[in-house]
Amino acid sequence: MALLEVDNLSIGYQTRNGTFQAVDGVSFSLESGRSLGFVGESGCGKTTLGLALMGLLPPNGRIRQGSIRFEGEELVGLPEDRMRTIRWRKIAMVFQAAMNALNPVHRVADQVAEAIFTHEPALSREEVNTRVEGLFQLVGVPKDRMRDYPHQYSGGMKQRAVIAMALACRPRLIIADEPTTALDVIVQDQILEETKNLQQQFGISIIFISHDISIVADVCHDIGIMYAGQIVEYGAREEVFETPVHPYTRALLASYPTLNGTISRLKPIPGETPNLISPPPGCRFCDRCPGAGKTCVTARPSWVEISPRHKALCHSCS
Amino acid sequence: MEPRRFIFRRLIQIFVIFFVILTVLFLLFRLAPGDPISRMIDPDMTTEDAERLREQLGLDEPLWVQYVYYVRNFFTGEFGTSFHYGQPVVKIIWDRLPNTVLLFTSSIILSAFVGVFLGKIASWHKGGKIDSVLTIGALVTHTVFLPWLALILIWVFAYKLAWFPITGMVSEEVWLDPEAGIVAKALDVFHHMALPLCTLFLIHFGAYLLIMRSSMLETLKEDYILTARAKGLEERVIRNRHAAPNAALPVVTSIGLSLAFSINGGALTETVFTWPGIGRELVFSVSHNDYPLAQASFLLIAIVVLLSNLVVDVLYAYLDPRIRY
């Protein structure tokens, strides 16, 4: 049984102009100890998806249909107090530290300890302290900086502290939403490297959410490419990168610079994402797709299996 | 910055600002219409007597010499004698100051605590019935005209219901009674203080409520609140431990600012309730051209406002670690 199974999940935001369909019919599953990356541009629904897995959608967000099963337990419609015991204990989150993910008025170590106290109230003060110290050591924050306040940390240290906090209750799954976005590439690389090590060391599953395809390529076993609320291509990392089939994935890869390989001009993707309050009836990418045909405009595409570990949502990919 | 250095620097700033106030006050009194002598002299005095008095008081000297005397007197604690009471100004002020401090400290503490507490509740129920009642109630009590509110309270609770005394701070029968213990005396003061305290509380708590409410709503949108939710904390813990300490910071600032206001408002409250405090003395001294007393009262208010701002700064640094360093 997979650790996490998401089936046909759709999420809508109530707005004044109607329901904004942020996530539409997303299905995937994640095995224990594996990592899955979601890539897509801003507004493609990847953050909404992450929040939905934690049951943390904003008040105007609602799961319209579908299911999220974690360790066999259905999370959609789960009572709040049961959900609270799953949050952090089972599924933790690494936020972007450039956001104010840490509370400015509490010491960093206290914020990490708080997660442990909340979920394991039976532990003594000393046991918690020992574990917090171990976590800081693990992520490489010096022990004498533990009692500092967040504003005394550099961006990289904050990110490490946020990772330490995510590991505090030894979760089964970590959702990392743009964890390295505001960091310079050197610190970014260090953190990604450490994340990989930690994942292997503890056998934690990770869902990596990023707009940066190179980061996901570096860390994840499987990749889902998201566009306008849907997963449009899904598969093992090597297959998606080496033989991308969906026109959007190809366009996305062509729009990123690469150090090795042929030197070519970066190709921006023309056009804009569709309006998700009244999405087009056919393929959502058809307006911007160079190879769009008649059926693409009128009919919803269905999944095309390229290999057992690679599929795409497209009319013309087969 | 190191806390001691921070306070030292603020003290220097305060000293400079105070000197400016001292000077402005000096000029203001010299510019004011009316002759201070006219209040003191007897109609029977001759012009020579008046001149001699003027000389004695140093009023014949050039303005800058008067200013030097004025500053020197201030720093030697020499504030002169009240024209009206014929007593040293320092003594009058020392008599009145504790009464004002008692009334205002209790009203500010009470209204800040209640305001913060109710503001927090209003923000939890944003858009609901409780929120509407609290917000509208706060707006009404905060914007109502203070003397009117005071008079209504006196009319209902002191005159009609006779639950509280109408004026003053103490009852003679209690304070002159040799048998009365400290508890009875304290209760008597609280009995007299109830209505003025109520007035100040009703006027002020609304401001704290509204500030706390909007600040809380802003704070609840912060990313660290999402972190706290993701950590699986209960809503109550999120609000009290993660949102409220951040949201309360603007309230602390407004306490400092409202202190200046409450002394103005204090003059009104003290006058309506004949509370023997500095505010009432200030109104009295100005309307009776009692210059030494008025001058000293104004300076005292300036000192109180400046020092309370210092206290707020220090408190702020204590509450928000980002300011401390």
A151-192: per-residue pLDDT in tens? 999 888 998 899 999 999 989 999 998 888 777 888 888 888
**What pLDDT is stored for residue B43 in this prediction?**
66
Q: Do A105 and B319 touch (CB under 8 A)?
A: yes
Distance CA B284, CA B280 (A): 6
Tell me which residue in A99, A104, A118 faces B231 most closely, judged by beta carbons.
Answer: A118
Q: Is the pLDDT of residue B289 over 80?
A: no
Q: Is the pLDDT of residue B48 over 80?
A: no
The band of A99, judged by pLDDT with boundaries at 50, 70 and 90, is low
Q: Residues of chain B with pLDDT > 70: what percent?
A: 91
User: Domain check: are B138 and B266 in the same one?
Assistant: yes
**What pLDDT is stored for residue B2 in this prediction?**
65
> Average per-residue pLDDT in chain A?
89
- B234 or A198, higher pLDDT: B234
Q: Poorest-confidence range of B4-13, B24-33, B68-77, B256-265?
A: B256-265
Residues of B whose CB is below 8 A from A106: 241-242
The band of A121, judged by pLDDT with boundaries at 50, 70 and 90, is very high
> What's the gap in Å between the CA of A100 and the closest CA on chain B?
5
Tell me which residue in A86, A118, A165 faces B233 most closely, judged by beta carbons.
Answer: A118
Which of these three, B75, B110, B125, is where a domain ends?
B75
Residue of B nearest to A84 (CA): B232
CA distances from B50 to A244, B66, B81, B222 (A): 105, 18, 18, 70
User: Domain check: are B54 and B124 in the same one?
Assistant: no
Q: Is the pLDDT of residue B322 over 90?
A: no
Residues of A whose CB is below 8 A from B245: 105
Average pLDDT over residues B151-173: 82
Q: Poorest-confidence range of A35-39, B37-41, B112-116, B164-168?
A: B37-41
Residues in chain A: 318
Q: Is the pLDDT of residue A77 over 80?
A: yes
Q: Do A87 and B230 touch (CB under 8 A)?
A: yes
Q: Is the pLDDT of residue A28 over 90?
A: yes
Q: Does B209 fall in a domain? A: yes
CA distances from A110 to A121, A129, B227 (A): 15, 9, 14
**What pLDDT is stored for residue B312 in this prediction?**
82
**What pLDDT is stored for residue A4 in this prediction?**
95
Residues of B whose CB is below 8 A from A152: 325
Element (H, E) at B177: none
Total structural domains in chain B? Answer: 2
The band of B324, judged by pLDDT with boundaries at 50, 70 and 90, is low
Residues of B whose CB is below 8 A from A98: none
Average pLDDT over residues B33-51: 68
Q: Does B90 fall in a domain? A: no
**Of B306, B273, B275, B271, which Cα lies nearest the Cα of B286?**
B271
Domain range for residue B213? 96-320
Residue B250 CA, distance from chain mean position:
19
**What pLDDT is stored for residue B52 in this prediction?**
78
Q: Does B91 fall in a domain? A: no
CATH code assigned at B177: 1.10.3720.10
Average pLDDT over residues B295-315: 83
Residue of B nearest to A116 (CA): B231
User: Domain check: are B26 and B114 in the same one?
Assistant: no
Q: Does B87 fall in a domain? A: no
**Of A36, A92, A23, which Cα lies nearest the Cα of A216?**
A36
**What pLDDT is stored for residue A315 in this prediction?**
87
Q: Do A56 and B229 touch (CB under 8 A)?
A: yes
**What pLDDT is stored for residue A165 in this prediction?**
93
**What pLDDT is stored for residue B33 in this prediction?**
67
User: Domain check: are B71 and B132 in the same one?
Assistant: no
User: Domain check: are B156 and B281 in the same one?
Assistant: yes
User: Domain check: are B232 and B156 in the same one?
Assistant: yes
